[in-house]
Amino acid sequence: MIVDFIREHANHTPAEGGLRWGVEPICTVLSEHGVTIAPSTYYEWRDKLPTKRQQRDTVLLEHIRRVHADNFGVYGPRKVWLSLNREGIPVARCTIERLMKAAGLAGVVRGKVKRTTIAGVGPRPDDLVKRKFEPLAPNRLWVADFTYVSTWAGWVFVAFVIDAYARRILGWRTATSMTTELVLDAIEQAISTRQQDNRDQFDDLVAHNDRGVQYLSVAYGQRLADAGITPSVSAVGSSYDNALAESINGLYKTEVIRRQGPWRNLDTVEIAATRMCSATGTKGPLQRRCDTPLAGRRSGRRQSARTQSRGRAGDIAAGRGKPRSPRQARTGPGCGGRWRWPKLPRVAGRQSGGLDLFGVSTSRSDGPAPRPIPGGARC
């Protein structure tokens, strides 16, 4: 770059009848401004011949541009590589990728990529979660994010606020634009939901989200401060820092959007989101109970295991059973050496409606009552 600058300005006369600029004065002025270069270095680089690789890259780049332009600019590295080899020009695929990347050439991409996270500028809160999405009680950690849905009328954006302990969607909102009101309405609904549940103490609550401009806005931060909620922001371009919210978005698209589409407009998406959030508001098999602390539930399982283990030991002492391995004795009978959640019973009869997210079903059954779980005494 410096050599090109000197080459452009050397032997240049700024005005008619003025002095001609030489290489040494230019190098002296550049050195005074912090760009140290000797005249001998300039002459060495000027007279330096290109290498064989540079000469070959120049020839190959002309062929790549020709093939790319002849095919309407839609060919990527793989198709350009195949075309050149069919023409009898032997070249490696990695060479094509390197040259196309350096020249700014790329193939067409199927579909339309929608960007929802636009990083904000200025001061922002720190990441207080550190990818630890296992709080010990409700109202300790909320995660928030929003996704997009393609409809016949255009894009629709859906924002969620999830309690990380219960995996419950507390607030949600749909809109046709990515504005601060979208995420602000979702957090307002989440706060209102907890107030209706008589859980309006947010002193230990952390609200975690990504670095979108909507979540870094003044209005959103002020609403969190008014409610006493501590904000937390993930790193730039790291979806794993907000993995729980991203997982909810993925389940929403997999189990609702892709299975029940196509979607006409905002109203149809809003109805589907309402049904889904109503389903996750109940206590399903994969949703934790909001009234039971995590530590208490775990200790309860361990107590049950010890009780079952003592009963098994009494049977063995009385000659009514065979001794089991220590691991199986600790974990209780019938569990195969480890704890398992019970399987859900199948409901007989015809079902109408239905929306299954996180194992929760909104379908109604008009058949007989479900059969009891075999081995109901198991964990």
For 207-256, how does the pLDDT look when each residue is reduced to its tens digit (9 = 90+)?
Answer: 999 888 888 889 999 999 999 999 999 887 778 888 999 988 888 888 88
Q: Is residue 133 part of a domain?
A: no
| Tokens matching residue 311 | 């009963």
What pLDDT score was predicted for residue 300?
Answer: 40
Q: Are 41 and 97 in the same domain?
A: no
CB 75 within 8 A of CB 106: no
Question: Of the ranges 38-52, 176-190, 282-296, 316-330, which one carries the lowest mean pLDDT score?
Answer: 282-296
Q: Are 189 and 241 in the same domain?
A: yes
Q: Is residue 243 part of a domain?
A: yes
Mean pLDDT over the full length of the chain: 75
Q: Are 200 and 319 in the same domain?
A: no
Question: Of the ranges 101-115, 142-156, 214-228, 252-266, which one carries the lowest mean pLDDT score?
Answer: 101-115
Q: Are 20 and 69 in the same domain?
A: no
What pLDDT score was predicted for residue 160?
Answer: 93
Q: Is residue 220 part of a domain?
A: yes
For 260-272, how does the pLDDT look when each residue is reduced to its tens digit (9 = 90+)?
Answer: 878 999 999 998 8
CB 125 within 8 A of CB 94: no
Give the mean pLDDT of 313-322: 50
Q: Where are the alpha helices (DSSP H) in 165-217?
A: 180-196
Above 90 in pLDDT, residue 99? Answer: yes
Residue 152 to residues 157, 259, 271, 312, 373, Cα–Cα distance (Å): 14, 16, 16, 63, 45
**Given CA atoms 207, 210, 214, 219 in this order, what sign does their dihedral have?**
positive
The structural domain count of the chain equals 4
DSSP H/E element including 114: none
Q: Is residue 254 part of a domain?
A: yes
Nearest Cα to Cα of residue 273 among 255, 291, 290: 255
What pLDDT score was predicted for residue 366?
Answer: 43
Task: Print the domain residue range for 7.
Answer: 2-46
Q: Is residue 374 part of a domain?
A: no
> How does residue 275 score in pLDDT terms, banded at 50, 70 and 90?
confident
Supply the CATH number for residue 205's domain: 3.30.420.10
For 353-363, how does the pLDDT look when each residue is reduced to its tens digit (9 = 90+)?
Answer: 444 444 444 44
What pLDDT score was predicted for residue 5?
Answer: 77
What pLDDT score was predicted for residue 212?
Answer: 86
Q: Are 145 and 264 in the same domain?
A: yes
Overall pTM > 0.75: no
Q: Are 220 and 333 in the same domain?
A: no
Q: Are 173 and 215 in the same domain?
A: yes
- Which 3 state secondary structure label does DSSP give 85? helix
What pLDDT score was predicted for residue 362?
Answer: 43
Q: Is residue 118 part of a domain?
A: no
Q: Is residue 314 part of a domain?
A: yes
Q: Where are the alpha helices (DSSP H) in 218-293?
A: 218-227, 243-252, 258-260, 266-280
Q: Are 41 and 156 in the same domain?
A: no
Above 60 in pLDDT, residue 35? Answer: yes
Q: Is residue 212 part of a domain?
A: yes
Q: Are 216 and 146 in the same domain?
A: yes
Q: Are 66 and 41 in the same domain?
A: no
Above 70 in pLDDT, residue 302? Answer: no
For 38-97, how does the pLDDT look when each residue is reduced to its tens digit (9 = 90+)?
Answer: 888 878 877 777 889 999 999 999 999 999 999 888 899 999 999 999 999 999 999 999
| 373 against 52, higher pLDDT | 52
Q: Are 157 and 203 in the same domain?
A: yes
Q: Are 37 and 80 in the same domain?
A: no
What pLDDT score was predicted for residue 25?
Answer: 81
